[in-house]
Amino acid sequence: MLQRGSHALVILMCSPLLVRCEDYTVKFEVALTPERRDSFLVTVREAKSPIAARRFKELVNSNFFTGCPFYRVMPGFLVQFGLSGNVTLQRHWDRQVLQEERAIEHKDWNMRGTIAFATSGAGGGTQGRSTQLLINYDDNHQLDNAGVVPFGRIVRGMHVVDAIYSGYRDRPQAADIRQQGDAYLQREFPRLSHVYGAMQVAFVEEPMMISKNVMGALITVGMALVAALCCFGLRVLQRRSKGYAKTPLAGTFDDPEDDDAGVVELLTTDEDDDPPPLPPPPSPPSPPPTPPNHRRGR
């Protein structure tokens, strides 16, 4: 009995590891220029896009990405790569087009730093969702409706992705890369940044990210709450100031209906050090006149 209980306890303790075994992290080593090299990490969540996550792992383990150029770089939008300069190798993978994702448990949005397979509606051409990948430079929610389903996220080194050479923008053509390979790239676009290595490394947890739309809504709600609190506080102060102004002081002739006069009277009373002079006492009334005596005439 104890043995069964201990086995159950071990299974419960290892359950987070069992959940995470389908997630993994890949390190991309990048040649930004002939003199500058750097790297970035991608963490993949299979629950976000199972078919894409499995294909991505196959491409990494077969060293497909070695030598792949970043051939479409649109600052503020996205960067695209995943076409091999080896024409034979590219044709092999182009015949294995991915199916549509139907069993997605936790669909992700196309936010800055997410990575997905390109489709025909997002620069993938007729061979969409085979090997071509895109990384979002910004929140591109218009791609959510174009069938672009992110399967991972840049967890380290997004500044490296931002530094990828963008001078050619979208001039390199995917069709020409497929037909001519490295000869076309080296002849026409010698300054393209490219991948020189991709391998699976220790798992790195992805950070929490908030979409710009959600962040904008939160900021708007926060500003509305602050404005409402300011208005409420201003009204309270106005009511209190009116209450103080309407309180009459002894020795003053304040009109309770005139708020401004009350405030002036208060200020005047506070500034005067000496009390106001008292009015003189009233004079005593004069005695009434004595009536005449008529008895003397008799």
Task: Name residue, tokens 């102060």.
Answer: 237
> In percent, how much of the chain has pLDDT > 70?
68
> In percent, how much of the chain has pLDDT > 90?
53
What does the pLDDT average to over 242-249? 62
66-104: per-residue pLDDT in tens? 999 999 999 999 999 999 999 999 999 999 999 888 767
User: Do 135 and 113 contact (CB within 8 A), yes or no?
Assistant: yes
What does the pLDDT average to over 30-42? 98
Q: Which residues pair with 133 in a beta bridge?
A: 81, 117
Q: How confident is the model at residue 13 (pLDDT cuts 50, 70, 90)?
A: very low
Task: Provide the pLDDT for residue 11.
Answer: 38
172-215: per-residue pLDDT in tens? 999 999 999 999 999 999 999 999 999 999 999 987 766 555 55
Per-residue pLDDT at 15 exceeds 50: no
Where exactly are the structural domains of the chain? Answer: 21-209, 213-266
CATH 2.40.100.10 fits 21-209, yes or no: yes
Query: Which has the higher per-residue pLDDT, 205 or 296?
Result: 205
HEC string of 219-239?
HHHHHHHHHHHHHHHHHHHHH
Q: Which residues pair with 29 in a beta bridge?
A: 39, 197
User: What is the reported pTM?
Assistant: 0.66
Tokens describing residue 80 = 């695209």
Task: Provide the pLDDT for residue 259.
Answer: 52
CA 38 – CA 125 distance, rounded (Å): 29
Task: Provide the pLDDT for residue 100.
Answer: 82
User: Do 118 and 81 contact (CB within 8 A), yes or no?
Assistant: no
CA 118 – CA 140 distance, rounded (Å): 13
Name the region of 125 (left: φ>0; alpha: ψ -120 to 50; beta: rest). left
Query: Which has the higher per-residue pLDDT, 263 or 129?
Result: 129
Q: Which residues pair with 136 in a beta bridge?
A: 78
The vertex-69 CA angle with 63 and 75, nearest 5°, equals: 130
Mean confidence (pLDDT) of the chain: 80
